[in-house]
Amino acid sequence: MEPIQALNQRYSTKEFDQEKKISAEDIEKIKGMLQLAPSSTNVQPWHFILATTEEGKKRVAKGAVGTFSFNEPKVLDASAVVVFATKTDITDEFLHHISEKEDQDGRFAEQKFKEMNHNVRKMFVDTHKFDLKDLYHWSEKQTYLNVGSFLLGVAELGIDAVPMEGMDMKALDEEFNLREKGFTSSVVVSLGYRKSTDFNAELPKSRLDQAEIIEEV
């Protein structure tokens, strides 16, 4: 499917068909999308909980309580659910870990290129950590870059999705011990196939006109 076609067909799914399941082959593609998403300086400050079992979805649904209970069916009825979490800090140890992985993957023809790459990435991280003092906010921007490419990717597979910030993120952190692992929940995306009764499926897409939002120079 062409990207523009996928963008035209995708929408925020309100009702999932419990009987329709994502294939094992597509689940593997979904994992690949999460892994391969871009991030500034390739810093990859994220962690994912992928729930495909009923037990797993029930655990994620613990975040859809109280004020957010309206989102519970979108978790339980979906075929799969992804919790996108963001690193709460980026340490020098983690930066070296990334460099070593890049080295193993053959990205550096010479040692000096590895050192230069590491120093540039550390400069950006330190700028946000010490000067701008917005390291977590910057890191979460990278997570949302992943969410954006992910929504397009699953749409190209013909999989419906809905991203949700309307969740108790603290409850999710506690359920999956994310803070102890150095992460905190940012957004949840449910995946599957739309139900025939989903009112949002047939509504026309509405966006601001190109003339209003695009300035060609």
Of 74, 87, 122, 129, the catalytic one is 74
Sheet holding 160-164, edge to edge: 46-51, 80-87, 183-192, 160-164
Residue 74 a catalytic site member: yes
Residue 141 a catalytic site member: no
Residue 78 CA to residue 75 CA, distance in Å, equals 5
Of 133, 165, 170, 181, the catalytic one is 165
Of 14, 21, 29, 58, the catalytic one is 14
Contact assessment for residue 31 and residue 146, using Cβ atoms and an 8 Å cutoff: no
Long-range contacts of the stretch 177-180 (C-beta < 8 A, 24+): 178/47, 178/85, 179/88
Residue 58 a catalytic site member: no
Give me the DSSP letters along 45-68.
-EEEEEE-SHHHHHHHGGGS-GGG
Q: What are the catalytic residues?
A: 14, 74, 165
